[in-house]
Structures are given as C-alpha cells and as structure tokens.
A and B are shown apart, each in its own frame.
Chain A
Amino acid sequence: MSTFLTATGLVLLAFFWQITLSGIQRKVTARIHRRVGSPWYQNFIDLFKTWSKSSISHGFIYDFGVLMALGGTIATLIFIPAGHIVVFDKLDNFFVITYLLAVGSLGMAMSAVGSGNPWASIGVMRALTQMLAYEIPYIMAVFAIIYANKTASIHAIALAQQGMGILGWNMFRMPLGVIVGFISLMGMLGKKPYDAPIAPAEIASGPLVEYGGKHLGMLMLQHEFATFVEVGLFVNLFLGGGTLLAFLIKYFIVYILATMIASVVARFKIDQLVVFYYKVPLALAFIQTAIVIFTGLG
C-alpha cells in the first residue's frame, strides 16, 4: 500500500512540478526574445482546455497508440527516483527505464502514423533517426558510470555520489561524460538545435499534425512526463540526486539551462544531426569510457 501511495505521490509531483516548469520555460524563452510571455500557469490552462474540447479519431490504432504512449510513460515515471521518493528500490535499472520509455515513444509513433497523414510519418521517421543519434553516445557515457559503480541501479548510483561531497558527483569525476550527457539530453527533450522531428514550420509539427482535443492533451501530458523522466535521469546520474529539495533545485537549473540554450540557436537538419552526434559526443563518450575502464580514474 505504501508503494502505491509513494507512486501516486511521485506522479502528482511530476505533474505539478514539470507543468509549472514548462510554463516558466515559456516565460524564460520569451524574456530572452524580449517579449512579455505567458504567465507561469499557462500550461495548466492549455492542458485542461484541450481536455474539454471536441476531438476526432482516425480509427482504433490512433486511440490505442495514445493510451499506450501515456500509460507507458506513466509506468516509466514510477521507476525514476526523485530525491527520497524511491518507489521500487533496486528495480530502477537504467536499461529498464531507457527501454520502458521506448514503449511510450512506440505508442505515439504508431498512433501518429495510424492517422494516415504523411507529415506524421516523416516526423516519426525523423524522431527514430534522432533517437539512434542521441541514444548511443548517452548510453556509452552511462556505460562508464555503471562500470565504475558496478551497479545499474539509478538510486544506488545517486547514493554513491552523495558520500563524497560535491566533488563526488559524476559531473566532476567524469567531465567529458557530463558534456555528452547534456548534449544527448537536449536531443532527448527535442530542444531547439535538435527539434527536427516536430519542426512546426517545416512539416506541420510532424507526429502531432492530426491531433486535437483530448488526444493532443494526453500527448502533451505524456511529453511533460517524459521530460521529467529524462531530466530526472540526468540529475540522478550526473548530479548526484540528493534530497527532494536538492533534486528539484538541480532539476530546475538543468532544465532552464537547456531552455536558454534552445532559445538562441537554430535547427539542425536530421542528417547533419546524426553526423554531429556520431562525431563529437560519441568520440567524447568513447574517450571517457576508455579512461574509466583502462585507467580506473573517475
């Protein structure tokens, strides 16, 4: 029962925290662009508004994919340790989380292509290609961390870093790894240089082109939860997690930093993006992993 309550608490925390931050993110972007911007609670309004509107359905898989996307992402979220809140200790394996997140992506991709709109197919194609680009450097950087800690449990890795003060964070022990991790995080979040899959002006928002009403609202929610998973993973792996408060502060800094970078750069084409990820971050990740494995540093 306590597991159930913690899980509910975690989902609610993610809901309020991440949607608030999304609002703040819009505000930050606006200020960088010298605009006024929407209020911080705008995303709550958007979410509930879409849920109350009428919507269309393109058939069974179009609905089912949305459910699979949201359900899979909620399931993934429950495995993320946030500060003290650890729902399943020892089960929060890195690979489990990475691949569970893929359930959500698969659901969304299926639903989008099931709408029959070619823009959606192109967007999904780009998203999958981008996934191949950012996922490999990221996993290689995390490979070094798991090898050094001899465990793949996210919570255990976070705890191991807290013992040695601020210099014990993987951010300082593996400086190349954290660069790779951050660049890959930007790709995961679909932030600006890496937002080819949804590119609104190019392919009409890609996978999201057909959605409206409650479908769109549920996918927005799915996106917020996925963001919580991705940023939470980064904070736990590289910045040492910490207490709930420390976790949220670190989360805030990472997320706003990513937003600020995203608001001043232009978009990569999808093939440029693959080449970039395989040139710079992958090389850095290999160097970092080789240092950890062959010299034992870090």
Chain B
Amino acid sequence: MVLVYSMVSFFNPYWMEKVIHPAAYNLFYLLSLGGTLGVFYSKDFLTLFIFWELVVWSSMFIIPLGKSRRATVVYYGISTIGSFAMLYALLLLNVKYGTFEISTVINKLSTDPKMATLFFFLIVMAGLTKLGIFPFYTWLPIAHGNAPHTFSPVLSGGLVKMGGFIAFLITAVLPTSKVFANHLQILNNPYENYILMILGAISIIIGTLMAIKQDDAKKLIAYSTVSNSGYILIGLAMVDQTAFAGGVMHVFNHAMASAAMFLAFAAIAYRTGTTKISELGGLIKRMPVTFTVYLIAIISLAGIPPMSGFASKWLIYQGLLRKGNMFIAFAAFFGSVGSFMYVFRPLAGAFLGQLSPKHKDIKEVPFWMQLPMLIISGLTILYGVYPGLMLKYIAKIQTSLNLPAIGVDGTKILTPNGMWDSWTVTLVFTIGFIIATILYFVLPKAKSVDLMDTYTSAEFIHNPDLYHYSSNYYAPFERLYKNHPSVEKFYDAIALRFKELGLLVKTWFFNENPAFTVFWISIVITAIFMWGDKI
C-alpha cells in the first residue's frame, strides 16, 4: 500500500499544473497516506476508526479536484453507511465490554457468538463499502472514473485494500470458523461467512459484466476492481489454508496490477488528454514502455502464469474446490475468463490497431513517470516467479492466527490438491519461446509494411480513424444483457424520494410565502390553546 502511494507520487509533479488547487491536493494526498498507514498499525478500534475517517475525509476532498463534484457525493454517501455501521458497532462494544482494545474485544467476542454475529455484520459493512462489494460497488466507477488521474491508482491500490484489511480483521483475527462453528453450515462454511462469499460472487459477476461494457478505460479498471475485490473477499471469508492465503496475496497482486493499469492510462491521458478507448489507437508505436507495463499488468490481472496474479487466483480455486463450493466457484471462473475480455479491450483499442493522425506526434512520457510503472511491473514478475517470497509472510500470518500455514518450498506452492512450481513453468515457457524465436529467424525474412497496407476487400481506404475497430467492442455480447436490472436505478430512486422529502419539508417549513408562516404560527397557538392547562 505504501508502495503504491510512493510510486504514484512520482507522477504527481507532472500533474500538479493541471490540478486546480495544487497545495490542497498535496496536503490531502499526504493525509490520506498517513491515514491508511494508521489504519494498518492501529491497536484499538477507536484509533482505527479515526484514521479510517481521516482517509475518507482527505480522499473526499481530492476526488472533486478531478472532473466531477457528484462523484464525491456518491463516494461520501456510501462511505458514510460503512462508517456509521462501524461507529455503532464500536460504541456498542464499549458499552458492553468497556474497552476498544482489539485483542481484548476479540477475546471476549469469541465466547459470545450472538454478539459476535451482530458485530461481524456491522463491522464488515465498513469493509464492504470500501472494497466496493455488491451492493455498495456503485461509488467505485464514479469515483475512480472522475478522480484526478494520479489519484485513481491510489484509490484502487490503497484505499480499496483498506476494506480488505477490515474484512481480514473480522473474518480471521476474530476466528469466525471457531466462533460460528455451531451455526448453520453451508458447504462447510458458517452461514455468516457464506453470505460474504455470495456477496463476493455477485460482485465478481457484476464487475465483470459491467467492465466488458465500458468505453472509458478508467471506469473499466474501476469495475475490474469491483470484480477483484470479490475474489479477495471470497478468499478471506473461506478462512482456510489455501484460499485464505490466496485472498491475502490477491490484495497485494491486485493493488500492483490495477495501479499499473491506472498509471498506464494516466500516462496516456497525460499525452493525449483522453482515457476514452474509442478515441485512441495504435499507441504502441509511440509509447512502447507504457504498453509493456500495461501488458504485464493485464497478464497478472487476468491470472495467466507466470505473473503473480495467477498464484493467488489459483490458491482461491484450490480452496473452493476442496470445500466443493460450486456456485461460488462458478462466479470465480466466470470472472477469470471474463477478465480476458475486459482487459483486452483497452489493449486492442488504445495500444494496438491504427494510429490516429491526431496522435501522430506524441512522445513517450518522461522517465520519472516511467520509473514507477516499471518498478511495479518488475515486482509483478518477481512475485510471479517467486511467489514464495510473499507466501512466506502469509504463512507466518496464518500461523499466528492458528490456521494451517500454506506450504511453500522455494518456488513451489504445495496444496492438498496439487502443487504449482512457477520456476519450472517459467523455464518451460522460456524454452518454448526460444524454439519459436529460432524457427522465426531461420525462416525467410519478412518484408515490413505499413499498418494501412492491409487486406481491405479491394477497397481504397484513406482514414485510419475509421479503419480502427474500437468502439462498442463487444456489441454482440453486450446486447445479451442490455436490459439488466441495476442497483444504481434503485439508489437513484431512493435519492429522488429523499430529494422530494427535502422539498416537502422545504415547502412546508421554509417557504418564502408569508402565508405559511402565519399558518404555522396559528397552528402552534391553537395547539398550545388546546393543550391548555394540562401542561
């Protein structure tokens, strides 16, 4: 998390000029960094809550520095639900046990399953709102899509993962599998955890389907964050040997991948001024470094070996298989295969294909902007080839939580269902690639031609913009779920009712017409008169 912040801060100097209040941006940026750190190190719930709110507040002021003011309202509105639920739970605990200390509270809760259930749902609400799990996911695309380009990676890589920390705290530190052991079990999970898993599964499916539809790359990545938060939540809610390790690892992997993707598009926006996929195209020729970074990030995000994203997703699958959670597994597989579709859309639309004439003269971004992207990509590859480096720490966490630790042996990950040796796979892949390369260079040399020099059904083409297939990329597939039900509409309806209520109150109490004042005065006088001597 700190890593994401520090990496992104390299980008900041370049963006400063474009932000309206640079000083304010800097201040809030540092505040939110401090807050995030505070959340991870806090020892009692009250401190945690204060740092939590610090982050919410500072990020609330950063988001409107981007494009839209409404984004902040939505973000803050949804955060408030979580914060109030958490505050209520904390005060409740304090009244009952008289302490905020995390370890004491957890100990007392362990012997009190009824209270623990209530506490579980109230606190986890805060985690869900931050992670962007269904039904609280609506703020992610709005806030990520409209935040300043440099803040989106932080939102996705840092703030969202704070929700993951809360989910971790509540499912594992409070040992749910023991506390809820006597409760109704669904497919070997306590029903409380299973509810979380179902919410995670719904988020995966919604996130995937919505991401496939987006034309704005930042919104697309935001929806992919919704989907990946679902994986994190499922992994954490399983609280077992493999899937839990996968969930914790996925927190880091997804932070890296989505930060790299957001940074790549921040770089594109820096040069071209747009993040709309349909307005871009062919940028690989002009920005090869950004392309490489994006490619590595999507390979990791889609969970293709040998990048780090594969290891964590694979661990989550193993856990699901072991317990036979078929419906959750369906969502997990759907999200995984669906992610090929949505990560490919920006790749094809923005980086490959025809270069638009209006982007003919753009250059690669400056070195200090490339550096953070390259470091993140390097880490993605490193943890992909040596997942043991990270899993070692996760194994320690698991031991301290009395879970069976994940088996790691150098580059091998051992699970009851089989093992994964990233080093061998990488090696074999390299050998395969070398064979192909040798074959390529042995065969006759190819003649280099221009991108416009293609098969055109014998027609004459002259406009690269029109000859680039990027808008409505998945039209036949999108058509299948065009009329989907949506929570947004429901929320909008609620918001509308709320506004109407406000208008009602306004017309009755704060009207400009003196007649209303006279009316209320007379009502009050009448009321007093009727009450009379009874008071």
Contact = CB atoms under 8 A, between A and B. Distances in A.
Given A51-B443, A113-B348, A271 B469 contact: no
A226 interface: no
Contacts of B354: 116
Interface in B250-290: 282, 284-285
A124 B416 contact: no
A136 B330 contact: yes
B385 to A, nearest CB: 14
A75 B428 contact: yes
Interface string A97-108: 001101101100
A110 B338 contact: no
7 contacts: A55-B446, A60-B284, A79-B428, A103-B429, A152-B318, A153-B418, A213-B443
Contact of A67 (B353, B431, B437): B437
A132 B338 contact: yes
Given A125-B469, A128-B344, A152-B418, 7 more contacts: A66-B436, A71-B429, A73-B432, A96-B305, A99-B305, A115-B454, A270-B477
A147 interface: yes
A270 B476 contact: yes
A250 interface: no
Interface stretch (A36-44, A232-240, A286-294): A286-294
B234 interface: no
Given A214-B443, A270-B476, A140 B333 contact: yes
B467 A116 contact: yes
Interface stretch (B43-51, B140-148, B190-198, B321-329): B321-329
B419 A90 contact: yes
A120 to B, nearest CB: 8
Nearest to A214: B443
B302 A102 contact: yes
Given A71-B433, A116-B282, A116-B452, A63 B440 contact: yes
B443 A103 contact: no
Interface in B478-527: 479-480
Interface string B226-264: 000000000000000000000000000000000000000
Contacts of B431: 74-75
B353 to A, nearest CB: 6
B352 A128 contact: no
Contacts of A119: 455
A140 B333 CA distance: 9
Interface string A133-167: 00110011001001100111100100000000000
Interface size class of B (residues with CB under 8 A): 35 or more
Contacts of A220: none
A65 to B, nearest CB: 9
Given A110-B352, A140-B333, A118 B447 contact: no
A67 B440 contact: yes
Residue of B337, B431, B452 with most partner-chain A CB within 10 A: B337
Nearest to A117: B454
Contacts of B314: 93, 95-96
Contacts of A218: 436, 439-440
Contacts of B330: 136, 140, 286
A54 B447 contact: yes
Given A56-B449, A57-B447, A106 B299 contact: yes
A88 B344 CA distance: 31
B214 to A, nearest CB: 15
Interface in A186-237: 204, 209-210, 213-215, 217-218
Contact of B348 (A63, A96, A121, A269): A121
Interface in B424-454: 424-425, 428-429, 431-437, 439-440, 443-444, 446-454
B303 interface: yes
B440 A66 contact: yes
A23 interface: no
A129 interface: yes
B476 A129 contact: yes
Nearest to B429: A75
A135 B447 contact: no
Contacts of A110: 295, 347, 352
A113 B421 CA distance: 32
Residue of B324, B428, B432 with most partner-chain A CB within 10 A: B432
A2 interface: no
Contacts of B121: none
Contact of A274 (B333, B446, B467, B477): B477
A122 B479 contact: no
A183 B418 CA distance: 27
Contact of B474 (A72, A125, A214): A125
Contacts of B467: 116, 118
B185 to A, nearest CB: 14
B327 to A, nearest CB: 8
A237 to B, nearest CB: 14
A77 B417 CA distance: 21
Contacts of A143: 321, 326, 329
Contacts of A150: 416-417
B473 interface: yes
A75 B436 CA distance: 11
Nearest to A148: B324
B476 A59 contact: no
A210 B455 contact: yes
Nearest to A128: B341
Nearest to A135: B337
A249 B262 CA distance: 51
A78 interface: yes
Nearest to B414: A90
Contacts of B448: 56-57, 59
A96 B436 contact: no
B304 interface: yes
B446 A91 contact: no
B337 A132 contact: yes
Contacts of A275: 480
B317 interface: yes
B435 A114 contact: no
B182 interface: no
A99 B304 CA distance: 5
Given A140-B326, A152-B321, A114 B352 contact: yes
Contacts of A75: 425, 428-429, 431-433
B420 interface: yes
Contacts of A59: 284-285, 448, 451
